[in-house]
Amino acid sequence: MNKIELNSMSLDELKDFIVNIGEKSFRGQQIFTYFNRNKNIDIESLALLPKELRKKIIDISFINEVKIYKKFDSDIDNTKKYLFALSDDNIIESVFMQYKHGNTACISTQVGCRMGCKFCASTKEGLIRNLTPAEMLNQIYMMEKDTKETISNVVLMGSGEPLDNYENVLKFINIIHDENGHNMSLRNITLSTCGIVPKIYELAKENLPITLSISLHSPFDKVRLKMMPISKKYSISELIKACKAYGNSTNRRLTFEYTLIEDINDSETELDELANILRGLNAHVNLIPLNPIKEYDKESPNRDNIEMFQKGLLNRGIPATIRREMGSDISASCGQLRRSITHIQ
């Protein structure tokens, strides 16, 4: 019999689980808080629970842990990159960043990724497996324990495509938001996707005020197709339609990520078309200078051209910012998270 993963359960699931083994439901809440507020993992030392009950739980369930395998500190800013070892010895990467508005965790949702974006390091070896809710939660809890800081914002921008691991990601969001646990505001959670259209509609129905961030990177299908295989399945117009539906049902401003690549997507023609397709949407463009990876021989435009692109969007009435690069000296920037060490050695 497969044992149940105790720390991947939502509060309601834990209560049901406890009631099903003949105990009172408040015990479920105690366990939930123990994991998700106190960031503890060892059920044996949960003294609030009678010894007998602890034994019963240990017999039928297991607790999924992630352990710090290596940690890199940036000399440029206070960014820290963590390599976490999973219980099956796979390694994932997460990043801790300090901003004026609070601490942000960039976490992984999958080991590897199967989306195949040409400029992204995380996808080079394909998808190994999905992460469980506990494995996503524990990336945050372990970074909080290690830095002795509270993390107020989470971006799902580490390795993996969050909408390709939909159920687990939603459960993670539900748990991290629960007031009996970490109590993170949904508004402080950003889900970044390469644009799996049916899943965007599904997410819209959940009516969660999280921020949806769409990796667009070009307003032209022809250009996008060359860098993002997902565009074979869904055209830009289908994608924008789904984003409109998402914006209408959640009333949230959308973010479009746009990785700037010299001579590929940084011309006036792109500016005009980008402004055309985003006009009327409550949207904001986040420009990301391309971070170099060895498998992609293109470059970022220089700083002046990046700023000109931003101005070009602003002049066309589209709000745009340039993403600050964090921890580039430790390969912690967007698209640089790679399974450099794939297994515990």
Nearer to ligand SAH, 181 or 335 (CB): 335
Distance in Å, CB of 100 to ligand SAH, minimum: 21
Tell me whether strands 283-289 and 189-193 are parallel, antiparallel or unpaired.
Answer: unpaired
Nearer to ligand SAH, 168 or 291 (CB): 291
Helix (H) or strand (E) holding 114: none
Helix (H) or strand (E) holding 305: helix 303-315
Measured between alpha carbons, how far is 51 from 315 in angstroms, rounded to an integer? 67
Distance in Å, CB of 259 to ligand SAH, minimum: 4
Cα torsion for 202, 203, 208, 209, to the nearest 10°? Answer: -130
Distance in Å, CB of 28 to ligand SAH, minimum: 33
* Nearest residue (beta carbon) to ligand SAH: 335
Angle between helices 166-177 and 197-206 (to 10 degrees): 30
Nearer to ligand SAH, 79 or 291 (CB): 291
Distance in Å, CB of 288 to ligand SAH, minimum: 4
Measured between alpha carbons, how far is 233 from 74 in angstroms, rounded to an integer? 38
Nearer to ligand SAH, 259 or 265 (CB): 259
Asked if 69 contacts 345 with a C-beta cutoff of 8 angstroms, the reply is: no
Question: Cα dist. 40→210, 235, 254 in Å?
Answer: 27, 45, 35
Which entry of 113, 120, 194, 334 is annotated as an active-site residue?
A: 334
Nearer to ligand SAH, 39 or 226 (CB): 226
Distance in Å, CB of 190 to ligand SAH, minimum: 10
Q: Which two tokens stand for residue 58?
A: 């240990």
Nearer to ligand SAH, 116 or 247 (CB): 116
Cβ atoms < 10 Å from Cβ of 102: 13
| SS3 state of residue 15 | helix
Query: Which residues make up the interface to ligand SAH (CB under 6 A)?
Result: 117, 119-120, 157, 161, 192-194, 215, 257, 259, 288, 290-291, 293, 334-335
Which entry of 23, 93, 161, 257 is annotated as an active-site residue?
A: 93
Distance in Å, CB of 262 to ligand SAH, minimum: 12
334 belongs to the catalytic site: yes
Question: What are the two backbone dihedrals, phi and then psi, of residue 299, each rounded to the nearest 5 degrees?
Answer: -125, 165
Cα angle 315, 319, 322 (rounded to 5 degrees) comes to 100
Nearer to ligand SAH, 271 or 334 (CB): 334
Q: Which two tokens stand for residue 314?
A: 């602003």
Listed residue (235, 307, 240, 305) closest to 278, CA to CA: 240
Question: Cα dist. 150→255, 269, 310 in Å?
Answer: 25, 44, 33
13 belongs to the catalytic site: no
Distance in Å, CB of 110 to ligand SAH, minimum: 9
How is residue 293 annotated by DSSP?
A: B
| SS3 state of residue 162 | helix
Known catalytic residues?
Answer: 93, 334
